Structure 1
Amino acid sequence: MTHSSTPADGVTLRAADAELTVEPGHGCRLASLKVAGTELLRQGDKYGSFVMAPWCGRTDQGRFRSGGDLYQLPVSSGPHAIHGTVRHAAWRTVRADERSAAFTYDLTDPWPWEGRITQVVELAEDGGGVTLTLGVETLQDSFPAQAGWHPWFLRRLSDGGQDVRIDFTAEWQEERGEDHIPTGKRIEPRPGPWDDCFGMPDGVDVTLTWPEELELNVSSRAEWAVVYDEQPEAVCVEPQSGPPNGLNTHPRLVTLIDPLEVSTTWTWRKLA
């Protein structure tokens, strides 16, 4: 069916033994992802998996340039602006059926330009994965932008279960300054714990394994992922179209004929 929901409505998708709930009224975040009844995402207003747009991670001092103009964003993480403007906004559900749904949000203040963000969520028919797609469009003038996701995967899936293992190969790690802004230097990937951005020019490919329970792979054609595992309750693997502070260091211009589009696919298999 096709419908338009009120912003407060949750949208639940189902396929085989997978169930996913999206909350368009709360940043269009994935509030829950269950496989065979087991929750994979940390619960709570700040968690689940939220959208980062029209920038990802921290923007240094909330300032960036486009052309010859300097723009100031509201600071929200120490001295920096973080994770975009849409993660607490009310989105509109424009289409939903049993396994897929589409949502939109029109950019407004404090973002300096008119634009639209679209998220499409599609569960695989066999219930073995989900594909998330973000689009960033301008309604008039060109602007720089980024887009990505910030999922909070549970560190342990069950009482007595083992901690998740994070496996990936990166070509480089963005050196992080004490202010959490990349210095611009690329270094050899270092062992965790991490709150760091990694470069994967062949595409993001990260595997999470909960021993004897579940394996989940996060993939994307995007070339950057932030990995965060400093919290005892959850870990994050964040595919994104550019690195933190990318509005300044790696801007991607969105034009009327060239929107920004990025996708990620999560696939899983049970190990027991």
Structure 2
Amino acid sequence: MSTDNTRETRLRAGDAELTVDPQNGCRLTGLRIHGTELLRQGAKYGAFPMVPWCGRIELGQFRNGGERHQMPINSAPHAIHGTGRDTAWSTARADDTSAAFTYDLAEPWPYTGRVTQLVELAPDSLTLTMGVETYDNSFPAQAGWHPWFLRNLGSGGDVELAFDAEWQEERGDDHLPTGRRIAPQPGPWDDCFGMPDGVDVTLTWPGMLELKVTSRAEWVVIYDEQKEAVCVEPQSGPPNGLNTLPRLVTPIDPLEISTTWTWRTLA
């Protein structure tokens, strides 16, 4: 394990190796199992926390009571994926197999508070936990993760996705949910699915590895429209949820979400 606030943190458990870059949005920049990298490489990829919102906010605007707030438009005409991925985080602690990171909410987000991400690595699993707390006023928030899993690990076939969702959020031409729930449709996807019993998605690289993404959260976005990678994104609410399904963070009720990735080799 190595860490400071300006360098990557490296964790190891058995044959699993994880690298986290607190300066680059506290994203996971590498996850290697038996020496094989699972995450797409590059400064914008890996696996990053989405906080204090997930997916798109319509026109970058949301309300908190009578106040309307405007977030920067970074996926015109919307704001996407929160501000945490563009922020330098601090390393609160780290040992060989776990680490905790924090950052204080600040402009352009209009409310004060703290975000914490806990990373726990085991030989056959990775658990990520994120919390959002307020220092003062209550505010709506979301949290989740956006991993870019490689479509192909260098040998064998492309990854196969398997999941059983109760519904799919119908997606409008503006890439936002219309508010109508429909039966899950075949891919390709850039879509949000509802899983009331918790997120449970299996990625299988034939002959190489099986990885399950689980969470007690009820929402997951599946994105597989890129050639290089696929995304399985557990999150605490649907896209545009700050407007359509707000979850308030209050001084006595912080937001917490976790996800576990569990893997086994198939070779």
TM-score range, shorter-chain basis?
over 0.9
Q: Map of 1:51-90 to 2, 5 A cutoff?
A: 51-90=49-88
Q: What SS does the aligned partner of 1:87 have?
A: helix
Partner of 1:170: 165
- Listed as ranges, the matches of 1:36-185 within 5 Å are 36-124=34-122, 127-158=123-154, 160-185=155-180
- Letter of the 2:138 counterpart: S
Within the candidate set 13, 23, 38, 2:11 is matched to: 13
Aligned residues: 267
Deviation of residue 34 (structure 1)? 0.1
Partner residue in 2 for 1:238 = 233
CA displacement at 1:173 relative to structure 2: 0.2
Give the match's secondary structure for 2:41: coil
User: Once the two structures are aligned, what percentage of the paired residues are identical?
Assistant: 70
Compute the displacement of 1:94 (Å). Answer: 0.6
Q: Determine the C-alpha separation between the residues in 1 that align with 2:38 and 2:160.
A: 14
Q: Does the 8 A contact of 1:4 with 1:92 survive in 2?
A: no
Any unmatched runs of 5+ in structure 1? none
2:89 maps to amino acid: W
State the secondary structure of the residue aligned to 1:112. coil
d(CA) in 2 for partners of 1:230, 1:44 = 18
Indicate conservation of the 8 Å contact 2:3/2:9, yes or no: no
Q: Please say if residues 172 and 189 of structure 1, whose CA atoms lie closer than 8 Å, have aligned partners that are also in contact.
A: yes
Counterpart amino acid of residue 94 in structure 2: A
Structure 1 residue 5: Cα displacement = 2.4
Cα offset for 1:59?
Answer: 0.1
Contact 1:4-1:94 at 8 Å conserved across structures: no
TM-score w.r.t. length of structure 2: 0.98
Task: Give secondary structure in 1 for the equivalent of 2:23.
Answer: helix
Hey, which bits of structure 1, 4+ residues long, moved more than 6 A? Answer: none
Secondary structure (helix, strand or coil) at the match of 1:149 reads strand
Distance 1:157 1:55 in 2: 30
Provide structure 2 residue ranges, at least 5 long, that are not aligned to the other structure: none
Aligned to 2:265: 270
In structure 1, what is the equivalent of residue 209 of structure 2? Answer: 214
Answer with 29-38 or 61-70: which moved more. 61-70
Q: Give a deviation string over 1:143-167, Cα, whole Å, max 9, x none.
A: 0000000000000001x42010000
1:5 and 1:94 in contact (8 A); partners too: no
Which of 179, 187, 194 is 1:192 aligned to?
A: 187
Offset from partner CA, 1:72-97 (integer Å, 9 cap, x none): 11111011000000102110001000
State the Cα deviation string for residues 165-220 of structure 1 (Å, max 9, x = none). 00000000000001101100000000000000000000000000000000000000
Alpha-carbon deviation of 1:4? 7.7
Distance in 2 of aligned mates of 1:130 and 1:69: 39
Offset of 1:237 from its aligned partner? 0.1
Match of 2:212, SS state, is strand
> Distance in 2 between the 1:258 and 1:5 partners?
31
Partner of 2:251: 256
Give the Cα–Cα distance (whole angstroms) in 1 for the partners of residues 83 and 259 of structure 2: 20
Q: What per-residue deviation string (whole Å, max 9, x for no partner) do you get for residues 204-258 of structure 1?
A: 0000000000000000000000000010100000000000000000111001110
Helix, strand or coil for the counterpart of 1:150? Answer: strand
